[in-house]
Structure 1
Amino acid sequence: MLNVSNVTYQIGKEILFEDVNIKFTEGNCYGVIGANGAGKSTLLKILSGELSTTRGNISFPSNKRLSFLKQDQFKFDDFTVIDTVIQGNQKLYKIMMEKNAIYAKEDFTEADGIRAGELESIFDDMNGWNAESDAAILLTGLGVDVSLHYELMKDLSGNDKVKVLLAQALFDNPDILLLDEPTNHLDSKAVLWLENFLIDFENTVIVVSHDRYFLNKVCTHIADIDYKQITLYAGNYDFWYESSQLMLKQMKEQNKKSEEKIKELQDFISRFSANASKSKQATSRKKALDKIELTEIKPSTRRYPYVNFKPEKALGDDILKIENLSKTIDGELVLNNISLTIGKEDKVAFIGLNQRSVTVLFEILGGHMEPDSGTFKWGDTVSLGYFKKDNNQEFKKPTVMVDWLTDYSKNKEVTYVRGFLGRMLFSGEDALKKINVLSGGERVRLLLSRMMIEGRNTLILDEPTNHLDMESITALNKGLQEFGGVVLFTTTDHQLVSTTASKLIEFTEDGRIKELVMSYEDYLETR
């Protein structure tokens, strides 16, 4: 279906891909993975034709239609939501616009009538009469309210714009669908809908995502970018990971056997090469030695941070008691008489579509906002670490990274502080970067460094996986699982919730909470 033939892509002196040959076939979903900077998004842009190859070519049948998830939220500001979605099929949209323009003419001519008839025939063949209803079905599935379908794009929130652009990519059953981080800014309900859509999708899908659960759910193959090559593996993400680890283990074991054989032969040669009666055997052993090759094991270019939260003091029995907490913001009741008790072994995931209420609760518990009524009390032994969802204010000043982190450390030794930066992949000169120029992912990793160096025994985490790559999310997941303290968190990462939370609390739309006695998977199914 989509052929990649001898493709090389080079930026200046840097080669991202070299002589890549792949066939993406119909009916399969390919998850593209690789380290930061490996070229995942670049690959999709090359496949879409947005970027040209340095060498080689991309081809697919001329009668097939390729659709690519747009990232520019402002490109369609002057179009209605429905028209934006229908532009997912440009040929259909142009015919629709030309047809409407002809009918809008005051001096409608015979030639106009003939042309309108031709367009009506093509429009009918393309199932154009169902275009608006098909677009509406996609929008509703992704959670864009019906009341917004004929509003202008510029009047929508950022999250709704993302959903509209995703609906545009999915519109009218494209033959090849390219999706770059499609779950970003989607709530759990929209993600579940998208998973089911892609599972039922019968054409070709190529998707870049940092969501491990999403890749496991929808992918039939994994395309791994490493060492300037792209290698295809059958199976989902977990199957790729287990297979790659098994291959690495087997290669190491084979090398170990080869090393033992080499040592044995070398010992024999050194002992008997000077002995005339054994010289023939020694020569034979030397020839055997020359033939033994150690398999070159290339460690992955992926770099995993090391997340390890170690509390400096133990927790007592009393952790947190919330009683009748309420908060109204701009006339909206965000927290509606919340009461909750947290125990010393709780790792609580706050879930549901009402993420605003979660953030407001965390802001109050973190001491950054006052409730209108009700009370909350932390236990005397609690030391609190808080990861804010909106952390822009933390990074306004041009402070050097190592100096910034030193301010939060009891131990002011530079080597001690640099050790915590190193855990989060800030080594050497990186530690001297100014915090006001850090990327989103770097900011999150630095904030996690601070939480580790502070040694708190209770953590509040508001969407900590935003901006993180898959390797960093995996490390954070492991760190929270092993953490011996209390965690209150919310995240869109399915696997983090499933493997970390001991308790699930849903925020309903009216600002109330509901403690759930079920797994996260069962919760999503009931929704």
Structure 2
Amino acid sequence: MLSVSNLSVQFGKRVLFDEVNVSFTQGNCYGIIGANGAGKSTFLKIISGKEDPTSGHVHLEPGKRMSVLEQDHYAYDEHTVLETVLMGNKPLFKIKTEIDALYADYSDENADRIGELQVEFEEMNGWNADSDAAALLSNLGIPEDLHYNLVKDLDSKQKVRVLLAQALFGNPDVLIMDEPTNDLDYETINWLENFLANYDNCVIVVSHDRHFLDAVCTHISDIDFGKISHFSGNYTFWYESSQLAARQRAQQNKKAEEKKKELEEFIRRFSANVAKSKQATSRKKMIEKLNVNEIKPSSRRYPAIIFEREREAGDQILNIDKLASSIDGEVLFKNVNLNLAKGDKVVVYSKDSRATTAFYEIINGKQKALEGKYEWGVTTNQSYLPVDNQEYFENDLTLVDWLRQYAKTEEEREEVFLRGFLGKMIFSGEEALKTANVLSGGEKVRCMLSRMMMQRANVLMFDEPTNHLDLESITAINNSLKNFKGTILLTTSDHEFAQTVGNRIVELTPKGVIDRYMSFDDYMNDPKIKEQRNQMYAVEA
């Protein structure tokens, strides 16, 4: 359906893609993965015609329609919401616009032309276009009373949903999306996962959301060393199988036949687990294609993230009494009463990210509460990763000197130790001499994680730790927190993170708090909790 031939991309002396040949076929969903800077977004821009390669060709099968998730949130500001969605199907929208123009200036001379256009319009199911577009918008959380508003009157999160509806509209043959889950809530992502898992055409997507990639992908397309390789299966299969293959490569004495049996057993177990999932029917074709011969060790480098505690905390961790916060008179949360126990791994959740950030800033002494109080246990020491870390990097210290600020021993202050520590966090060689004020978003987060590791706290707090990180870093920190023996407070838009780390959910709402010892999925899918959540967020008439 879509093929790439001899594609090369070069920026100066840097070769991003080198003679890439790859095809994308109908009925499959391809998750494009690769380290930060590997060229994921560039590749999507090239296959969608927004950028030209240095050499090579992109070929879309004649008669097939491609749709691309728009990244410019201001591109349709002067159009209505419904019209913006209809514009996602360009051939249909063009005919509709011409019909409307001819009717506005009706004459006997253009009657025949109107008739011709209406036949085409009907063949494209045009008479149902408005209702189909409206249904998509409603499913994505845009209520009907906004459908005829201008896009510029919507907030940023609503605009994202309108542009997503535009990309999905009209059942395109090839659907291309770069980070489609950004700024979407749990319910909307869940709807999108189900929509794409049952989508019959070709989907090509870049995402850092592992749960999303697992739910929708039949293939993983790995960008590595300037090439793109397809692997059957979802992200978890690719990750676990490549890790297994890497371990096998290190086992020189194990016979080839034993290794093959081990891989076959891995595929059997994985397939059995997928068959039990909610997307079992649509994932059947993915399971059937899993192949021992495709499994290869990954060349990916994963940062060494290990959180150790200087001491174990006592039983009293954190007591919160009637805590409340507001912004400009708007209540973010109130009546928060919590008692944290040792070993709690709390997912702090809210539909309003301002609420969770305010909560962390208050209990870390950086912001005053509207009312209420909190008290940390005397045996606790805390480490906090804020969503906005800019204040830590407004200096020109090298990374070695920046990290030295958080050293606790003479050994840790030595350059050899600091360079080794940074090397484990993928800052190798000269990168350790970069200055703090020129770092990228992902590099800053890796520095903040290094700082947290050196603090050796027994209580860790994270406000959106996966922002700016690549899949390798996300996977590494996720695995580390699963194994951490202390107490964790975590806010994340990464579903997999929340589900695999959390054993307690605390939801902050304008009417109080919901507090449950259960997994994230169980919490979100519990009918009684759903009803309670709706009441807690309901706006009084």
Q: TM-score, normalised by structure 1?
A: 0.86
Match of 1:367 in 2: 365
The one-letter amino acid paired with 1:378 is W
Matched, 1:182 2:180: yes
Residue deviations 1:89-115 (CA, integer Å, cap 9, x gap): 11222222233333344xx43334443
RMSD, aligned CA: 2.4
Residue deviations 1:429-455 (CA, integer Å, cap 9, x gap): 222222232211112111111111222
- CA distance in 2 between counterparts of 1:58 and 1:3 reads 6
| SS of alignment partner, residue 164 of structure 1 | helix
| SS of alignment partner, residue 37 of structure 1 | coil
Match of 1:76 in 2: 76
| SS of alignment partner, residue 177 of structure 2 | strand
Q: List aligned pairs for 1:101-500, cutoff 5 A.
A: 101-105=101-105, 108-253=106-251, 300-411=298-409, 412-500=413-501
Shift of 1:514: 1.2
Shift of 1:511: 4.1
Match of 2:537 in 1: none
- CA distance in 1 between counterparts of 2:511 and 2:460 reads 22
Shift of 1:305: 0.8
Residue deviations 1:220-255 (CA, integer Å, cap 9, x gap): 111122232222221111222233234344444468
Match of 1:96 in 2: 96
Distance change (3 Å), C-alpha of 1:69 and 1:515:
same
Distance change (3 Å), C-alpha of 1:247 and 1:304:
closer
Q: Which blocks of at least 5 consecutive residues in structure 2 are unaligned?
A: 257-294, 531-541
The farther-off stretch of 328-337 and 515-524 is 515-524
Counting aligned pairs with the same residue, the percent is 51
8 Å contact 1:420–1:453 — kept in the other structure?
no
- CA distance in 1 between counterparts of 2:163 and 2:398 reads 38
- CA distance in 2 between counterparts of 1:396 and 1:122 reads 60
Residue deviations 1:444-503 (CA, integer Å, cap 9, x gap): 111111111222221211111111110000111122122222110110112211221121
The farther-off stretch of 327-336 and 516-525 is 516-525
- CA distance in 2 between counterparts of 1:458 and 1:253 reads 38
8 Å contact 2:350–2:356 — kept in the other structure?
no
8 Å contact 2:508–2:514 — kept in the other structure?
yes
8 Å contact 1:324–1:374 — kept in the other structure?
yes
The farther-off stretch of 247-256 and 86-95 is 247-256
| SS of alignment partner, residue 19 of structure 2 | strand
Shift of 1:201: 0.8
Distance change (3 Å), C-alpha of 1:497 and 1:102:
same
- CA distance in 1 between counterparts of 2:420 and 2:243 reads 28
Matched, 1:60 2:74: no
The one-letter amino acid paired with 1:405 is L
Residue deviations 1:317-352 (CA, integer Å, cap 9, x gap): 211111111223223221121111101111101235
The farther-off stretch of 459-468 and 121-130 is 121-130
- CA distance in 2 between counterparts of 1:507 and 1:133 reads 36
Count residues in correspondence.
486
Distance change (3 Å), C-alpha of 1:255 and 1:350:
same
Distance change (3 Å), C-alpha of 1:248 and 1:179:
same
| SS of alignment partner, residue 167 of structure 1 | helix
Q: Larger Rg: 1 or 2?
A: 1
Distance change (3 Å), C-alpha of 1:518 and 1:256:
closer
Match of 1:18 in 2: 18
| SS of alignment partner, residue 341 of structure 1 | strand
8 Å contact 1:188–1:353 — kept in the other structure?
no
- CA distance in 1 between counterparts of 2:125 and 2:421 reads 59
The farther-off stretch of 421-430 and 391-400 is 391-400
Shift of 1:205: 0.8
The farther-off stretch of 317-326 and 399-408 is 399-408
The farther-off stretch of 407-416 and 207-216 is 407-416
Q: TM-score, normalised by structure 2?
A: 0.84
- CA distance in 1 between counterparts of 2:335 and 2:524 reads 25
8 Å contact 1:69–1:178 — kept in the other structure?
yes
- CA distance in 1 between counterparts of 2:204 and 2:490 reads 31
The one-letter amino acid paired with 1:13 is K
- CA distance in 1 between counterparts of 2:253 and 2:46 reads 38
